[in-house]
Structure 1
Amino acid sequence: MRDISTGPHATPLALDLALTIRHDGHGGVADDLGRPEALTAWVREHAEALPDTAGFEADAAALTEVREVRAAVRALFAHAVRPGDPSPADAHRLLPVSEAVRRLNAAAALTPTVPVLTWDDGATPLVRQEARTPVPASDLLKATLARAAVGFLASDDRERLRACHAPRCVRYFLKDHPRQEWCKPSCGNRARVARHHERHRAEAVGD
């Protein structure tokens, strides 16, 4: 398992999971893991960070389990960004911190794994978590995601985690420099436009 990818724009696996909840472009919230087929596609997109993905096919039970892990991750992300506000996507229905921690620990313990190093010529060394005994693919997936979340939350990157509060955005992001306020430039542009309009409305009311 590779929790934090290499490269200047790498994203931790736990954050990638959290970002499957996003703004839908029309004022609402979309779920990129709304169907088993969507989870299958997401897993295959993260093949380098997840074990045994080649033949993985998600079913309804696996989808429910992964979404339960995601709910725990997002609850702990909300806790991590305090005293800042959490993502507005699910701020009104977050799991209690103790339940989120219990859920991650239970998922992480589903299957015993060992780290296995691979290092191909010309490539970056990778460490994958592989099961010591045969287990259901869905259990291995759930455990891997939970362990990635535990590793991320216990790392220094947790201190850089922020919720983006640009208009309509519901994303979490890692703050890369001290003045960064938004997850991406387009969110910064929307926020500045919104501030501009709000300032003009206030001036109009005051006239």
Structure 2
Amino acid sequence: MSLLLSPAELMPPAPGEDVHPSLALANSSGRQDDPEEGDLLRTPERATQWMIERNLTVPDVALYEYCSNRLREFRRVVREVLGAAATGTSPDRQAIAAINEAMTQIPSVTLLAWDGQRGFHGRQKYAETQAVEQALSAIAADVLNLVTGDAAAMLTQCAAPSCGRFMLRTHARRQWCSTRCGDRVRAARAYAKKTSRPLP
């Protein structure tokens, strides 16, 4: 659990975030009704922490404002492409170009590593000065795999009006990215019914 975020800002991961860093990036902004407060990349410290927690960089990296800004701008691009894939609409050509550019910024080399906690695992080799470029490259490659692979058919957005997070629909009836969103929608519907207001 993050020490930089208050409990109110912590949302459980949406289905698919654990295997797709592109989903995690797309969902790193706050809720649509409060984007600034829950933004996991709002400061360089938060952006650094976010990258470390997703194994997109090594623990001793510290991002500067310029780097965290690049990560936030790339989030907008990823949301554009995932949104187009989820709705079957045409994506912005500049967004596709940005994804492709990010993939080619860093040569992807994975080395075999071992430690006592994780055992054997792959570790990306990159210069510490290129931490953000490496993260963007990995996320861009994941976007490619997500929107062209089998999981593309499961890609959707949370149906809660104030949310907008992306997720993989793990079963046909799933509408919300978390029980929190589902509870919020059900509570709003119950309140609307009780007060005879239109349902959302």
Question: Is residue 184 from structure 1 mapped to residue 178 from structure 2 by the alignment?
Answer: yes
Q: Which of 152, 155, 162 is 1:161 aligned to?
A: 155
Q: Which residue of 2 aligns with 1:193?
A: 187
Q: Contact 2:47–2:63 (CA<8 Å) still a contact in 1?
A: yes
The code of the aligned residue for 2:47 comes to L
Give 1:130 shift. Answer: 2.5
Give 1:76 shift. Answer: 0.8
Give 1:135 shift. Answer: 6.1
Distance 1:165 1:137, change over 3 A: same
Matches within 5 A, 1:52-67: 53-67=58-72
Q: TM-score, normalised by structure 1?
A: 0.73
Identical aligned residues as a percent: 27
The code of the aligned residue for 1:37 comes to E
2:43 & 2:117 partners in 1: Cα distance? 37
Question: Is residue 46 from structure 1 mapped to residue 54 from structure 2 by the alignment?
Answer: yes
Distance 1:187 1:124, change over 3 A: farther
1:78 & 1:67 partners in 2: Cα distance? 16
Question: Is residue 78 from structure 1 mapped to residue 83 from structure 2 by the alignment?
Answer: yes
2:25 & 2:69 partners in 1: Cα distance? 14
Q: Which of 125, 131, 136 is 2:130 aligned to?
A: 136
Q: What secondary structure, in the 3-state scheme, does the structure 2 residue paired with 1:29 have?
A: coil
Matches within 5 A, 1:3-152: 10-23=18-31, 27-30=33-36, 31-47=39-55, 50-51=56-57, 53-82=58-87, 97-118=92-113, 126-131=121-126, 136-152=130-146
Give 1:198 shift. Answer: 3.5
**Gap runs ≥5 in structure 1:** 1-7, 85-95
Question: What's the C-alpha RMSD, in Å, of the aligned pairs?
Answer: 3.1
2:18 & 2:92 partners in 1: Cα distance? 27
Distance 1:182 1:134, change over 3 A: closer
2:158 & 2:178 partners in 1: Cα distance? 9
**Gap runs ≥5 in structure 2:** 1-15
Q: What secondary structure, in the 3-state scheme, does the structure 2 residue paired with 1:162 have?
A: strand
Q: Which residue of 1 aligns with 2:4?
A: none
Q: TM-score, normalised by structure 2?
A: 0.75
Q: What secondary structure, in the 3-state scheme, does the structure 1 residue paired with 2:69 have?
A: helix
Number of corresponding residues: 181
- 1:42-84 CA deviation, whole Å, 9 max, x = no partner? 122123xx24x23211112211221222111100111011159
